[in-house]
Structure 1
């Protein structure tokens, strides 16, 4: 663990950033949407001279979406929480950032930046996750109460997109609010706050920044968080350094899928990312994916006794099989469903996408480059991917069908399907709990690493802008 350095360190140096990252207080829970809003308002009441707020939009269910402005400096940074409502580490990170900015005059002056912060970009979606916020270390409750919107309902992925046969322009009100915030801030640095579920830490950058890599690696290491050394989230990502990837574009994803003979824009596909929208401002975007649960195999690059192509094929077949079971269950109940819920809409889209993900891995297994020994981290990441798809989409379908039963609107076919979905999910959950050796990470550590990464990216931007102007 990194030892705190002296208070005399210069703000923005690696030593200072590591010290600040290691000084986040302990937390045992995530704030609900209401608690997050109240906490931000308490901070604003403490320093009304430093914090102002304006409303930039309204959620689909009528929730105001505020944009807070902190300080007044030469540069601009935009930090946004809740872009994926199942990723609440950013709620604590945003609160900690604001608290530090208004209580540490030396930090605020040294950063010389106007900070723009949206605490939660998707309050409606986040409320559907709140049942596990009180004890995020409880994996079973997390799995049973998990919600992630369908791709076309994700704030992060519903910006306009047009490429070849793909076209998307269905911007949600929340997406319009985020676009408005990006244009108001015209940020030098943009950080949408994400987190992963398990494994190790990894990062995305909108472009190469070699001077930043060592510090991004040092931040999780100093806090006892392994780096992710397994499969990236998508095989199309460019690896800039271990556990650091270039975001690329949705066009890259389209072309990569097309090259494998897959449908590059299947039904239910979404739009472009907020980071792509921010490019027009010359923005450096950073995503710091911090895991809630640590996997000791996540950073193990030693060779396993498994063949990579075989593991890809096995993983793909399990994903296809699991997705097809959910697709069939939805098809059986579709004529009898009466409630149009976010959970049901998400399950409808994600179940076939699990099949697509499996087919992609089967296609990759046929490539000559895949015939090699797999690392321990790669095997672990592929296994975790199966559990993730099963529990997320199976759990949301079980919740959606149970809602019909609880509402008293369920036909006999729906009641039977609800029981089947619950039984299927329960079996997958027990299998995952028995197979996974993960441990919950201290929230102070993951928040500290995410907060530190913001400071690290800011310091890089400040140096780049200073060099460009000199």
Structure 2
């Protein structure tokens, strides 16, 4: 006789479900994702409802699906950053589980609201690497991330000191509409990081959740991120678990260190900040797309953390300055106003400001040895800025060449940038060990994190 399944929402049940995620070889395109969900809805019209919550800037409908009934509300949103598509697989698995497992669907006492992709226009510009998600070169060459003021996640209204933003895009308005309509007890915008280890953000401290997040991550063989935090203003709640904080916190930290807290091209607040009005527990599970065995190595090195910050800052300042100079050179000759070009214009100066931030930190940080994980994450940060923004600028310039409208200066600059980008790519690949994280395990951690946070909700 088989052992009975563990009770729903227990540690054993969450770990079992996280470990039962199937193997995935590729990431679905936007059309494939939509077709899969529509096929499910047509096959189970009694279980799945759908409504249109908005329209993208290019005219594509944005749907929201509803599954289950209960006293609680959970809102799961994919594609809030279109270069972070692991959530597409998490959504497909969650929908399959809700449909196939009646005990889970009924026992969760929850109406699950699912927005498959908040920014399909942007995600389509990443589809060039979806069929080969572990090919780092292809990923770098086909990468796209919108300019800050074109990101669904970061274009909610914001007013603080000298900062003011109210230019909500149609996609952002749709996401706000979803939050207002569902008033979620749990909100999970699905993100993933690029490399390193797993880390999490919570909208409020929840100590009972920390060990479970660690256990879910370990159960899938994914390392925790113990290197540098994404920003110096974040408060660590536990290892690789941070409180989301506010945009006001980031503004104040930057201002206190003598840097511009709201430079041109800055955007607005986050969707998780918008959800606070409903007392929502928000969770972000950042899962690494690429493996880095050094991500959780806390052994000290012979390098000073202060010196490592300074070197990282100098490299970022140099990369940012180089990209800004290339953009200024071609600016009078550009003819195609593409999302890639707008993103490169916005992010190249941010590489420069990120380097300045590291240099400012180096002046006040205590002099201690850097850990292996810290050195790895600092190197990874340099690679990220150089390859992302350099790659997008190269794609933007090449688009003009391919369209037959490129001026001589644009063609020359594209050739120069291609040589520089190839050099940056070789340097990044030389630091990598070639190992990959199976997509099923990454999705398992993200799915398990959702279930772990959901288990903390009170029945209403």
Matches of 1:380 and 1:162, distance apart in 2: 36
Gapped regions of structure 2 (runs ≥ 5): none
Asked whether the equivalents of residues 80 and 120 of structure 1 are also in contact (C-alpha less than 8 Å), the reply is yes
Matches of 1:268 and 1:371, distance apart in 2: 34
Q: Partner residue of 1:403?
A: 399
TM-score normalised according to structure 1 size: 0.97
Q: Partner residue of 1:151?
A: 148
Which of the residues 128, 134, 138 maps onto 2:131? 134
Asked whether the equivalents of residues 69 and 106 of structure 2 are also in contact (C-alpha less than 8 Å), the reply is no
Matches of 1:230 and 1:8, distance apart in 2: 37
Q: Partner residue of 2:370?
A: 374
Secondary structure (helix, strand or coil) at the match of 2:296 reads: coil
Asked whether the equivalents of residues 296 and 438 of structure 1 are also in contact (C-alpha less than 8 Å), the reply is no
Matches of 2:5 and 2:224, distance apart in 1: 30
Asked whether the equivalents of residues 364 and 370 of structure 1 are also in contact (C-alpha less than 8 Å), the reply is no
Matches of 2:436 and 2:4, distance apart in 1: 31
Distance apart, 1:370 and its partner CA: 3.1
* CA shift digits 1:120-165 (9 cap, x unpaired): 0000000000010001011110000000000000000000000000
Matched ranges for 1:39-58 at <5 A: 39-58=36-55
Distance apart, 1:446 and its partner CA: 0.4
Secondary structure (helix, strand or coil) at the match of 2:34 reads: helix
Which of the residues 384, 389, 394 maps onto 1:388? 384
Q: Partner residue of 1:330?
A: 327
Which of the residues 208, 227, 237 maps onto 2:205? 208
Matches of 1:404 and 1:421, distance apart in 2: 14
Matches of 2:447 and 2:356, distance apart in 1: 37
Secondary structure (helix, strand or coil) at the match of 2:195 reads: strand
Matches of 1:12 and 1:131, distance apart in 2: 38
* CA shift digits 1:36-72 (9 cap, x unpaired): 0000011112211111000000000011100101111
Matches of 1:401 and 1:263, distance apart in 2: 29
1:185 matched to 2:182? The reply is yes
Report the aligned-residue RMSD.
Answer: 0.9
Matches of 2:366 and 2:149, distance apart in 1: 32
* CA shift digits 1:384-425 (9 cap, x unpaired): 100010000000000000000111111101111111111111
Q: Partner residue of 1:364?
A: 361
Instruction: Identify the range of structure 1 (73-82 vs 420-429) with the bigger mean alpha-carbon deviation.
Output: 420-429
Which of the residues 100, 105, 110 maps onto 1:103? 100
Asked whether the equivalents of residues 85 and 192 of structure 2 are also in contact (C-alpha less than 8 Å), the reply is yes
Which of the residues 54, 59, 71 maps onto 2:56? 59
Distance apart, 1:439 and its partner CA: 2.0
Q: Partner residue of 1:348?
A: 345
Distance apart, 1:436 and its partner CA: 1.9
- CA shift in 2, pair 1:6/1:178, >3 Å: farther
Distance apart, 1:438 and its partner CA: 4.8
Distance apart, 1:173 and its partner CA: 0.4
Matches of 1:30 and 1:272, distance apart in 2: 29
Matches of 1:363 and 1:304, distance apart in 2: 22
* CA shift digits 1:294-326 (9 cap, x unpaired): 101000011111100000000000000001000
Matches of 1:232 and 1:241, distance apart in 2: 12
Gapped regions of structure 1 (runs ≥ 5): none
Q: Partner residue of 2:21?
A: 24
* CA shift digits 1:320-350 (9 cap, x unpaired): 0001000000000000000000000000010
Secondary structure (helix, strand or coil) at the match of 2:74 reads: strand
1:307 matched to 2:304? The reply is yes
1:122 matched to 2:119? The reply is yes
* CA shift digits 1:177-204 (9 cap, x unpaired): 0000000110000000000011100000
Q: Partner residue of 1:233?
A: 230
Q: Partner residue of 1:454?
A: 450
Matches of 1:384 and 1:436, distance apart in 2: 10
Asked whether the equivalents of residues 93 and 447 of structure 1 are also in contact (C-alpha less than 8 Å), the reply is yes
1:113 matched to 2:95? The reply is no
Matches of 2:262 and 2:214, distance apart in 1: 34
Asked whether the equivalents of residues 259 and 357 of structure 2 are also in contact (C-alpha less than 8 Å), the reply is yes
Q: Partner residue of 2:314?
A: 317
* CA shift digits 1:85-113 (9 cap, x unpaired): 00010000011001100110111111110
Q: Partner residue of 1:93?
A: 90
Distance apart, 1:24 and its partner CA: 0.5
Count of residue correspondences: 459
Asked whether the equivalents of residues 297 and 376 of structure 1 are also in contact (C-alpha less than 8 Å), the reply is yes
